Homo-oligomer: A and B are copies of this chain.
Amino acid sequence: MAKSADTQATLLEQVVFNDQGLVPVVAQSAATGRVLMLAWMNRDALALTLDSGDATYWSRSRQELWVKGETSGNRQTVKSVSVDCDGDSILLQVDQQGPACHTGLDSCFDTASVEIEQAESNSGEGSSNA
């Protein structure tokens, strides 16, 4: 059972949904600290998440509510919901079952990555670049 209805209502009031009625939501693994995915919630999805403890998003492609893992089994059990200082983004701490990404990767951010080497002015490490 989720926290008291009062606390949920307070949180819901703090969220600023965009002109499509959506807010971006970051899911972070409570176990590993890895950022797993970014998805979107409308007010109903957030209310359902707070009430059920199962991460529930709004699918922009299918235009429907989407309980994460409902078909794949890779559910996200939500441990906490945080709203940022402007109210226009949300962070979930989750217990992720299986891979978070539909590609089978642990995180949706495992697909493509670039490491940045700092310019000499920002780094104490020597660089052989002339």
How many residues of A are in contact with the other chain, CB < 8 A? 51
Does the CB pair B50–A38 fall under 8 Å?
Answer: no
Contact of A26 among B35, B80, B122 (CB under 8 A): B35
**Chain B: CB-nearest residue to A103:** B85
Residues of B within 8 A of A108 (CB): 84-86, 89
When all copies of this chain in the complex are counted, the total is 2
**Chain B: CB-nearest residue to A40:** B24
Q: Mark A80-100, 1 if CB is under 8 A from B, else 0.
A: 111111100101000000000
Contact of A114 among B8, B102, B111 (CB under 8 A): B8
Contact of A117 among B1, B37, B84 (CB under 8 A): B1
- Given A53-B122, A85-B102, the answer on whether A115 and B35 have CB atoms closer than 8 Å is no
